[in-house]
Amino acid sequence: MTPVLVFDIETVPDIAGLRTLYELGPEVTDADVAAMAFQRRRQSTGGDFLQLHLHRVVAIACVLRERDSVRVWSIGDAADAEGVLIQRFFDGIEKYTPQIVSWNGSGFDLPVLNYRGLIHGVRAARFWDQGEDDRDFKWNNYISRYHSRHLDLMDLMALYQPRAGAPLDDIAQLMGFPGKIGIGGAHVWDAWQAGGIEQIRNYCEADVANTYLVYLRFHLMRGMLSADQYKQEVALLHATLEKSPLAHWREFLQRWPV
């Protein structure tokens, strides 16, 4: 079976980059640099969501389904530099050539990883192959929107209509899955400033577990899994999380009786 790699990222404002672009010195605090960037963004767009190249990746969480096992984890260590995290993500694609799965990955996660990988000099030959090295990739690669090596579930469910997108949390809860737990995406920057990187990583892991469960339901809907196979896949993830001693998985399972 082709390995399946579901992924999700969490980001904070790229303070160092903003200092460079705004020509700000150390006398301006990180919080003030971010506040300035948010204010400029509100003036130009009405919202404070920064352009994607100004997002610093601080967590990447994955679910890997291969052979007879499923694994959920955050890439690298909490103290790893951004470039290290991104390189390890693309190294995983190099190693497994997996089906990669996301929720809004085409609209956010992958463009951020691409921009930030470019800034850090990351190598990602397998990801960028469009048939130059492997002829099969000419007809099915990670880059083309309509090829299947990257499955953006939200984009596909919305039939590629931006106005039809839906929040992962809503969809997961409507399916009976836990939905988001922990700090919430709107509070990642606050948690980062308070030194809460582990909270951020836990939140990201819960998001990617929800995405994987939605992916399984999608495979049931499209006939790629029978009803019994679907139940077995869901049970495998549940049993895997039950073995973890980590508190965020206990909270996740409390919200997900099976």
Partner residues linked to 10 by β-bridges: 59
Partner residues linked to 74 by β-bridges: 61
What is the DSSP secondary-structure string of 44-90?
HHSS-PPPGGGEEEEEEEEEEEETTEEEEEESS-TT--HHHHHHHHH
Partner residues linked to 9 by β-bridges: 60
Total structural domains within the chain? 1
Domain membership flag for residue 30:
yes
Domain residues for the domain of 123 are 4-249
Q: What is the dihedral of CA 100, 104, 109, 114, to 10 degrees?
A: 80
Domain membership flag for residue 146:
yes
Rounded to whole angstroms, the Cα distance separating 89 from 49 reads: 24
Domain membership flag for residue 257:
no
Domain membership flag for residue 202:
yes
Rounded to whole angstroms, the Cα distance separating 154 from 9 reads: 15
For each of the chain's 258 residues, which pLDDT tens digit applies? 899 999 999 999 999 999 999 999 999 999 999 999 999 999 999 999 999 999 999 999 999 999 999 999 999 999 999 999 999 999 999 999 999 999 999 999 999 999 999 999 999 999 999 999 899 899 999 998 888 899 999 999 999 998 999 999 999 999 999 999 988 767 899 999 999 999 999 999 999 999 999 999 999 999 999 999 999 999 999 999 999 999 999 999 999 987
Cβ–Cβ under 8 Å, residues 149 and 157: no
The enclosing domain of 81 has a CATH number of 3.30.420.10
Query: How far is the CA of 206 from the CAs of 93, 138, 152, 217, in angstroms?
Result: 21, 34, 18, 17
pLDDT for res 139: 92
Domain membership flag for residue 143:
yes
Alpha carbon of residue 231 to chain centroid: 25
pLDDT for res 185: 67
Domain membership flag for residue 64:
yes
pLDDT for res 42: 96
Domain membership flag for residue 216:
yes
What is the DSSP secondary-structure string of 125-152?
HHHH-SSSS-THHHHS-SSSTTSSSEEE
* pTM, two decimal places: 0.96
Domain membership flag for residue 258:
no
